[in-house]
Amino acid sequence: MLLRLVAFLFVLTLVARAVLPPKATDYAGKVVAVNEQAITVQGKIGTRVFQIYPGTIYGKGGRQKLADFKPGSPVIVVFSELTGVVKAENIRTEEPPKPKPPKKPNGKKPNSKKK
């Protein structure tokens, strides 16, 4: 009985891995090279090559094109990796930092001259 249980759990772990979609993650860096099949990005931990496929999205909501990414431009690549193939799911430019809101006065009214 114990042997059957162990065999069942082993098979279950194999099936669970096959059913789960690949884990998406991201990689930031600068474009080294780009063409219709792949984009190469130099990041903090090295250079990575990401395969481009017909479902790759460029920019947030698809607002950019592959031609927008040139060598030297900073990018973030959201990718998935399955059986050694690294697919670019989304390629976008890094977002600029949000501007800080203007400082509010300390409750004092600005000096105004009355006439």
How many Å apart are CA 54 and CA 34, to the nearest integer? 15
Judge whether 54 and 72 are in contact, CB under 8 Å.
no
Is residue 15 over pLDDT 90? no
Which architecture characterizes domain 20-93 according to CATH? Beta Barrel (2.40)
The predicted-structure confidence for 33-65, as pLDDT tens digits, reads as follows 999 999 999 999 899 999 999 999 998 877 888
Q: In the Cβ-directed half-sphere of 112, how many Cα atoms lie within 13 Å?
A: 5
Higher pLDDT, 106 or 110: 106
